[in-house]
Structure 1
């Protein structure tokens, strides 16, 4: 029998795992020639090409990763990877990677770097941190972070004495949704979201672009639902990939989504299409909601949304008649305008009225499994001497903090100065609004440290650059996966770190040593910590290493039954359609419609999104993925293009309301977008000259986002409030 890859995988699986310890050889006895040939190793780990964190199996030959596949045991990958997941090899072997610590020798932002040893670079950072602490206090150092590296640097910062950390993922992405669902159901919908798409009869996507947002398991389930003839309703000013699978495309006027949601609720209540038994048993505040939405008729909503009232009624009836097997997708990037939480509250209320929370085809319940918390150390953090700034004055801002609050405090030095920033795992120039504010704030710092894998735009502004190795070269903390059943996923190195890069945990630990914080890092290697964690949880570490993922099938209880009743962690213990918590803080307890400014004649609302082959700005230089999409294009409605004498692939420049100009960008002339909008894929036109493929390719939507609105409830940042005009002078 010839040893094919398929047969080898069968053999490996039969012997208890896919990971092979050590390298074996096969000689000419097996007919493969005289020269020994290394057998490939198949090593499971967890991807970090995006936040989905799919299970991956790396094929390694002679110490080199030659292929990545989805781990069939992991529910986020289900044996498959998206293009970005396969692009992990491109990240690993990108010649533009950061290879050694760097110290800037010029003015901040000049990027005149000298190579440094780790001892020199970490000593420089520790010395600066201590001086800032002595002069201003430990709280004057802040962390802007994203991804798994956050665990280690949040730990370091709090051990140092500062509570000031913030994540773009809250303020700019999931924060408003999390707050809205917590206020309504007592918990968020998870990350990834607990969506029972494969059993949905109706899938409603409001500004959620499955197929372009390549959320692996959701895209697979969406395809299954479509294959079962589920009705898809897409609400979007642009005819997205998902809209191509929809029975109903509602090209809504931007900034009016809440009007549509409230009118749907109006129809569903008035026509008795809600789940009366469910509402009576599990919710509070129904009468208040019914009264509040009386004014939001389909006829009223038509004037606001540009969607015919008959279509609003038809889609509401489709949604109501298929209850509870209906998924109103809660979305991820939900920070659009100044009423983000109330818009997401309307999504949550509609979900509850349909009886779709905890029911097949809707949002399933969390798996029933609890593990004892295991912390990086048992030593208590010192009590900060000054109040935390990271949540601002927003009463429902999450524990992750709000990024623009850190920027504002740095600029104003109120209520006290912020003089040092760590930026880890996030490209601040592409991840926060109003780049001018960010740049001005940076100039007021006495220390800016960047920890990353690539020389992104934000990294090039740093005083010290500390190169983290890629996810294929390191251990990270264990991932708890809360899909239908509870599970544990491991990230482990499949090859040794290249160049002079180090794991994030090592960088934080070594810096902690130099700051006198050794007691907060009591483990020698991170694998020691993982083994201790597994022992505490009663998990076989060797089994986890071999399989990459361990599931607890007994924890699966996705649906409400007589024996599986939900517990809502709200003050009333019920789903709160009417929120007393919001009322007590001076906000509307039931969502009310807010009018937003529309673009004047000759201007267009700038909307933005994602491509399935890229993760924001983090992959636009990736050798594998760059080949698939080298630059973005500006979507322009065909009637607008004809009026302006523009042809497909002509170059244009976009100019926003504050006079900021984009780099030149090709246009995509299409009928798949409203006439009052221009669309860009986010993350392009890097200003880092060290990113040789991404440098100035396409247009930077973030550069044009100089205005933003803030949601007063959560502090989330609405960035779809910028208008642009087209210039043919390039």
Structure 2
């Protein structure tokens, strides 16, 4: 395997400096994306420490400080004052320096004078770029109406423009990947069970048992979250991991359940039925806070251990073993809600099952359980709600997906744009999101884009979606801008209760002769002026936006600077807060769905195929970091996991170069290396998501590894929420041009 990650390498960091070369107004692609070789900084002596950084390499947003020399950032470290991540940041956090000085970064506004997907870039001024963006979007609105625009945002800097297009312009077509391809089904299920979004607020440090279903902690590295998990294990918590693959978490488990993918709800329902029949649940909590319990009991009464064992392809005695372990350690049990939860299109019911199991064990508001600490209050700064477009949303119009998370289900936008029914969608904005790799079936995404009158993309790096832009706008990185206020509590609730407030501030100046990047507040305000919405602009700058938010907590940027970038204040005891539990939800039933958590079968692999599942590696944030040379050096490709017995049957061995082909004939554009292991089911093939970028302007990450998303062509939509089931596509292995059937 081509994986060189060691503990030493994981903790190492370095710095770099870059200077780009100006070029002519009309330029070839290779000239537009000027690249400069990386230069190591030498020692860190003589650097100045700059506080106030908040990481943006993933959405966990650890608090940082920067080491700066001669105006150049040379090192990043965790902020020692932080009660969240402390001095620790992960490999990705360290590598933020390499993102900042990545020679492939977008530098100037560009106009595509070629074809979408095969662009020919012309450098233009900001005035020309913004004038064209505004005039073309205004023309679309005038010809059709506000519903004819769609925005695909992601990340903290996309919030300000997202609100502008939704609240002021009035487009109801807003699809954020974090909701519709990640956590939307989870949070909506918890809201309709416990009355609150799930988050990841489980008190693992004080748990006696931790239950994870498809949660890959140790591969999905969020520092304070991982600290909670490891602290719980250090304190002796028993660990149960339900996963078809021997993940990093499964390697630490007391019980590893190698479940058949898509059957997790059957597993959960059988556990709950067993706990009820054996009277091993928390009767007092259920009596005090449970609703619809009798209907719930009747609804799951069919789910015997043997029934689930047959469906899940695991022994009935192991399901009983898990149930008994959870009951024996209740209520101090962390039932982890998961994070990336859009799997098989039956995800709302699975997450309802996790929430109901949490209530059944009474593990709410107690040490080791599901707790919701109060975060400090801050102000709000955003666009006014000039219009309310939500009633115009596609799922509301068609009465589809009544438990959809905020925004509009992605497939409804794509299908509407392609068909024109019930209305045309002719303008697209992608801001910090790469829909070519976040949304399954990229072929449908391309069809949507092809019929657009105008496509605007704003990003930090060239990605697959930037190749389809008519106008491409370069954004400042998280290390160069104001844009986010983070608040929360310390992660270990056994410590004195404290809250924190911090703000993202520039660690280095974005002003430079080698680029013309701007932050999202400046860009959006300039668009607003040109789209006749100047009267609604809430702030003049990103700095003012952050100041306004902090003012709600009677803080300022100056005060935060004096407090080393983090304001601490006393917190509140997070324990003792209970939540009502809708074991049987009549609103869900009235909408036409099962009121009790119910197993819904999913499509099975055709003969000769295995199910494709995917996950993460600890040094990458999916596709966002694939061009980062430091991180790429550690895990440059995404190995394809196959069961070792299947490999022997097919004549394959560890390290073989392979491709994948799916059940509709799509062959992966790239190849990767094979990992043969007993640690994966025979009916499953696994790889890591985010590889295989096609943009040739990525000098490190282009055409490296296999793009799993390109193989996800079977679109299964969760009926309650409209989120994507992303693990219902099936593949065979291709070696040296020969397609190999997976034995039954």
- Which residue does 1:70 correspond to in 2? 78
- Cα distance in 2 between the residues matched to 1:352 and 1:267: 15
- Count residues in correspondence: 679
- Which residue does 2:173 correspond to in 1? 164
- Displacement of 1:217 in angstroms is 1.0
- Displacement of 1:390 in angstroms is 6.6
Secondary structure of 1:582's partner? helix
Alpha-carbon displacement from aligned partner over 1:53-94 (angstroms, at most 9, x marks no partner):
111111111111111111233344232111111111111011
Matched, 1:551 2:564: no
- Which residue does 1:3 correspond to in 2? none
Which range moves more in the overlay, 126-135 or 74-83? 74-83
- Displacement of 1:447 in angstroms is 0.6
Secondary structure of 1:618's partner? helix
Secondary structure of 1:91's partner? helix
Q: Is the 8 A contact 1:654 1:724 kept in 2?
A: yes
Matched, 1:492 2:505: yes
Alpha-carbon displacement from aligned partner over 1:696-727 (angstroms, at most 9, x marks no partner):
11111001000121111111110111110112
Matched, 1:113 2:129: no
- Cα distance in 1 between the residues matched to 2:508 and 2:360: 51
Matched, 1:153 2:158: no
- Which residue does 2:16 correspond to in 1? none
- Which residue does 1:389 correspond to in 2? 394
Pick from 655, 658, 672: which aligns with 1:652?
A: 658
Matched, 1:468 2:475: yes
Secondary structure of 2:392's partner? coil
Matched, 1:519 2:526: no
Q: Is the 8 A contact 2:116 2:467 kept in 1?
A: no
Q: Is the 8 A contact 1:605 1:723 kept in 2?
A: yes
- Displacement of 1:45 in angstroms is 1.4
Q: Pairwise mapping of residues 259-658 of structure 1 onto structure 2 (< 5 A)?
A: 259-367=266-374, 369-371=376-378, 374-377=380-383, 379-382=384-387, 387-389=392-394, 393-481=400-488, 486-497=499-510, 498=512, 499-546=515-562, 547-554=564-571, 556-560=572-576, 565-566=577-578, 568=579, 574-658=580-664
- Displacement of 1:370 in angstroms is 4.5
* Structure 2 spans left out of the alignment, 5+ residues: 1-44, 738-744
- Cα distance in 2 between the residues matched to 1:335 and 1:532: 36
Which range moves more in the overlay, 418-427 or 219-228? 219-228
Which range moves more in the overlay, 105-114 or 533-542? 533-542
- Cα distance in 2 between the residues matched to 1:679 and 1:76: 32
Q: Is the 8 A contact 2:331 2:362 kept in 1?
A: yes
- Cα distance in 1 between the residues matched to 2:684 and 2:113: 44
- Which residue does 1:80 correspond to in 2? 88
- Cα distance in 2 between the residues matched to 1:302 and 1:329: 22
- Displacement of 1:597 in angstroms is 2.4
Q: Is the 8 A contact 1:53 1:76 kept in 2?
A: no
Q: Is the 8 A contact 1:202 1:232 kept in 2?
A: yes
Q: Is the 8 A contact 2:187 2:198 kept in 1?
A: yes
- Which residue does 1:22 correspond to in 2? none
Alpha-carbon displacement from aligned partner over 1:402-455 (angstroms, at most 9, x marks no partner):
222211111111111000000011111100011110001100001111100000
- Cα distance in 2 between the residues matched to 1:265 and 1:61: 59
- Cα distance in 1 between the residues matched to 2:150 and 2:303: 44
Secondary structure of 2:634's partner? coil
- Cα distance in 2 between the residues matched to 1:58 and 1:714: 41
TM-score, normalised to structure 2, is 0.89
Pick from 164, 181, 188: which aligns with 1:179?
A: 188
Secondary structure of 2:302's partner? coil
Which range moves more in the overlay, 87-96 or 222-231? 222-231
Secondary structure of 1:617's partner? helix
- Displacement of 1:622 in angstroms is 0.6
Q: Is the 8 A contact 1:163 1:390 kept in 2?
A: no
Change in 2 beyond 3 A, CA 1:548/1:629 = same
Secondary structure of 2:509's partner? coil
- Displacement of 1:480 in angstroms is 3.5
- Cα distance in 1 between the residues matched to 2:231 and 2:480: 34
- Which residue does 1:9 correspond to in 2? none
Q: Is the 8 A contact 2:381 2:545 kept in 1?
A: no
Secondary structure of 1:266's partner? helix
Alpha-carbon displacement from aligned partner over 1:336-394 (angstroms, at most 9, x marks no partner):
122110110000000001111211111112316545x52325x5414559823376621
Secondary structure of 1:418's partner? coil
Q: Is the 8 A contact 2:48 2:69 kept in 1?
A: yes
Q: Is the 8 A contact 2:501 2:567 kept in 1?
A: yes
- Cα distance in 1 between the residues matched to 2:246 and 2:390: 52
- Cα distance in 1 between the residues matched to 2:48 and 2:327: 54
- Cα distance in 1 between the residues matched to 2:225 and 2:296: 31
Alpha-carbon displacement from aligned partner over 1:307-339 (angstroms, at most 9, x marks no partner):
111111111100011001111111011111221
- Displacement of 1:605 in angstroms is 0.4
Secondary structure of 2:217's partner? coil
- Which residue does 1:197 correspond to in 2? 204
Runs of 4+ in 1 over 6 A off after TM superposition: none
CA RMSD of aligned residues (A): 1.8
Pick from 691, 694, 698: which aligns with 2:701?
A: 694
- Displacement of 1:208 in angstroms is 0.5
Secondary structure of 1:460's partner? helix
Change in 2 beyond 3 A, CA 1:38/1:218 = closer
Q: Is the 8 A contact 2:172 2:408 kept in 1?
A: no
Q: Is the 8 A contact 2:83 2:489 kept in 1?
A: no
Change in 2 beyond 3 A, CA 1:674/1:385 = closer
* Structure 1 spans left out of the alignment, 5+ residues: 1-36, 569-573
Which range moves more in the overlay, 262-271 or 681-690? 262-271
Alpha-carbon displacement from aligned partner over 1:214-268 (angstroms, at most 9, x marks no partner):
1211211211111122111111110001111111111111111111111111221
- Displacement of 1:535 in angstroms is 2.6
- Cα distance in 2 between the residues matched to 1:301 and 1:148: 42
- Cα distance in 1 between the residues matched to 2:509 and 2:394: 39
Alpha-carbon displacement from aligned partner over 1:149-173 (angstroms, at most 9, x marks no partner):
2211112213123232110111111
- Displacement of 1:184 in angstroms is 0.8
Which range moves more in the overlay, 294-303 or 67-76? 67-76
- Cα distance in 1 between the residues matched to 2:391 and 2:254: 55
- Displacement of 1:469 in angstroms is 0.9
- Cα distance in 2 between the residues matched to 1:289 and 1:387: 35
- Which residue does 2:8 correspond to in 1? none
Pick from 55, 64, 78: which aligns with 1:47?
A: 55
Which range moves more in the overlay, 588-597 or 310-319? 588-597
- Which residue does 1:100 correspond to in 2? 108
